[in-house]
Amino acid sequence: MSLTTIRDVRVILTAPAGIDLAVVKVETGEPELYGLGCATFTQRYEAVATAVREYLRPLLVGRRVDAIEDTWHLMMNSGYWRNGPVLNNAVSGVDEALWDIKGKQAGMPVYELWGGCCRPAATLYTHAEGATSEEVEEHARALMADGYRYIRCQLGIYGGHMGGAQQQLSTPKAALEGAYYDPGQYTRATLSMFERLRSLLGYEAELLHDVHERLTPAEAIRFACDLEPYRLFFLEDPLAPEDSAWLANLRMHTHTPLAMGELITNPAEWMGLIQGRLIDYLRVHVSQIGGVSPARKLAALCEAYGIRTAWHGPGDLSPVGAAAQLHLDVSCHNFGIQETAQFTEAEREVFPGTPLIENGYMYPNDRPGLGIDIDERAAARYPCRRREHKWLQARRPDGSAARP
């Protein structure tokens, strides 16, 4: 039985790619033995850092590092109110760090602790974006040349900034500032984009699309039906979590595979989707649900219902978080596909051991633990700064606030 205890819990804030990241470092009583975990909630990273420093650290210092399951429940229940994104991310950072330590103590990668690899690498999809259909096509071709065969195609920023068309919207006088978009304009332009992509790219690549919850249920159903001829690999987040009761209706109207879950933080939100077999891919953000401990259980639940994983993997996921998800990807039989925003050279400098991406696959290394480290001196050269996320200030043409 390990008597190794937690000596300190720290938060490292850094932004090597211009996106604010939060990484938790759990230090132990053994020299040089520590673990890393992702706690990134980029829009509220300071709140997460405060939760770790002011609440979790005093709770955890002196406790054994090997009691991961008990520690997870202790952290989750100690605030009484639970399943919010701030606390969940704070818990995730510690949880992933403890698994990192466990792997280092065992002298093996974490995926070996979970039963070993089902596959040598994780199939990836990444993003082709542009203000016009021509730009999206050009971007998609470049990604295909790099070996990607699964490509998410987005025109503008989730329905806005489409080739300057946003400036043509008719808004009321005294309308507040915001990221305006028109649902009808968005759906028409996106359908035109996919018509172009399929006619010019054929079916050599699998194409995906993210609605980002920006449509009403009726709009989403019509849009999904109109997308049928283009045979998408999946349609992502066609509805907001608040509208999930409409999924059964949507499911009856389309054969396109559905992926949901990016904004889910509470188990009550995913149970109905899984048990009702209303989706094909579950897309939760692993740190938003509390780390890899609940994610492993969630993947097993999905497997029982024939649903695959497609963990959320945007730019506001640290390389530590990407490594943690990769260990899940290669060790879970019902892995489907992994999103990636790729990694910059600055990120690889700050995070030695960042997973290798080659020809559309992400490869884990064979180092003990999660296989990734952090250079704190390099991280300090890329400080976080509070940023205004204007795309999240979404509004419809009449000026009313809308989901992002």
Each residue's pLDDT, cut to its tens digit, for the chain (404 residues) gives 558 999 999 999 999 999 999 999 999 999 899 999 999 999 999 999 999 999 999 999 999 999 999 999 999 999 999 999 999 999 999 999 999 999 999 999 999 999 999 999 999 999 999 999 999 999 999 999 999 999 999 998 776 665 554 457 888 888 888 888 899 999 999 999 999 999 999 999 999 999 999 999 999 999 999 999 999 999 999 999 999 999 999 999 999 999 999 999 999 999 999 999 999 999 999 999 999 999 999 999 999 999 999 999 999 999 999 999 999 999 999 999 999 998 999 999 999 999 999 999 999 999 999 999 999 999 999 999 988 888 888 888 888 888 87
Dmax over CA atoms of the chain, in Å, equals 69
Of 400, 378, 376, residue with least CA distance to 23: 376
Active-site hit among 212, 285, 312, 327: 212
Active-site hit among 158, 186, 230, 281: 158
- In the DSSP assignment, the letter for residue 256 is S
Give CA–CA dist 211/353, Å, rounded.
33
pLDDT of residue 163: 54
Distance of CA 4 to the CA centre of its chain: 32
Q: Where are the alpha helices (DSSP H) in 234-391?
A: 247-253, 267-275, 292-304, 319-331, 345-350, 376-380
Q: Which residues of 70-103 are buried (b: 16+ CB within 10 A; e: fewer)?
A: ebbeebbeebeeebebbbbbbbbbbbbbbbbbbb
Give CA–CA dist 206/144, Å, rounded.
10
Of 35, 83, 110, 120, residue with least CA distance to 294: 83
pLDDT of residue 2: 57
Residues 110, 100 contacting (CB under 8 angstroms): yes
pLDDT of residue 170: 82
Give CA–CA dist 155/129, Å, rounded.
6
pLDDT of residue 161: 66
Domains along the chain? Answer: 6-108 (3.30.390.10), 113-370 (3.20.20.120)
The position carrying tokens 């925003």 is: 341
Is 361 among the catalytic positions?
Answer: no
Is 158 among the catalytic positions?
Answer: yes
